[in-house]
Amino acid sequence: MKKVLIVSLAFVLAACGVVQPVQQEQPTPIIATVLVTVIPPTEIVPPTAIPLPTQAPTEIPTQEPTAVPSPTDVPPTEAAATSTGSDSGQTVVNVDNLLGKGVFSNITLSSDLLTLNCTSRELEITMDASLTDITRAEMYYRVVDQPSGLYPSEWILLGNLGTDGKGKFFTTFTAENINPNYRALPKAWIDFQFIGVNKGGGVVDRTQRIERMVTYSKECP
């Protein structure tokens, strides 16, 4: 009977909440640590100005004349040209036939002086073909500075000489024919060379260089 009472009492106490259930321990919350890397702002250094070199004014080169096939340089044979006075006071130049080299003969220049702003302003040039194959004559010239003679121009083709169709050739060369790049020189020599061409356009032969027989002067000498 005593055991029944004890059991009954235990049920009563349980019903009254004397016996409390064991509370489960709550899990410890895990705090996640977030590492934030703070990057200090980088100071922007302005680029150092690089001084530009002072550029000297560019000299505009003198325009070179149009390139043309230059005549073959042939060592000149020593020969003197004879000069005779004319009624106009000009000195006529008779080129030695040795300089014609059997290509042209009786080469004559009407004056040994050519000027731009004075007299004489033109040269009359005549010659005879020494070879029957020659049906056309080409004239080249170059300008050589005076007095040094150190800066000759390239050989420049003037063009074809006139002809009577019987072996005689002629042309008029004026100061205006000189390339403008050299026309401004106060004084210079004008050299010549003549080329004989056959009917088919082939070169038969050419004269020696006729050098320093004509003086060019921009103003009156």
Domains of the chain: 82-217 (2.60.40.10)
Q: Nearest to residue 154, comparing CAs of 139, 140, 138, 142?
A: 142
Residues 186/194, Cβ–Cβ less than 8 Å: no
Q: Cα(first)–Cα(last) distance of the chain, in Å?
A: 168
- CB of 218 within 8 A of CB of 115? yes
pLDDT of residue 95: 97
CA distances from 32 to 27, 36, 115 (A): 15, 13, 105
Q: Spell out the per-residue pLDDT of the chain, length 221, in tens.
A: 555 455 555 554 454 444 444 455 555 555 544 444 545 555 544 444 444 443 434 343 434 434 444 555 544 444 455 655 544 567 999 999 999 999 999 999 999 999 999 988 999 999 999 999 999 999 999 999 999 999 999 999 999 999 999 999 999 999 999 999 999 999 999 999 999 999 999 999 999 999 999 999 999 98
CB atoms within 10 A of CB 210: 23
**CA-CA distance, 175 to 143, in Å (whole number)?**
11
Please name which of 185, 194, 173, 193 lies closest in space to residue 114, comparing C-alpha atoms: 173
Rounded Cα gap, residues 112 and 98, in angstroms: 19
pLDDT, residue 221, reads 84
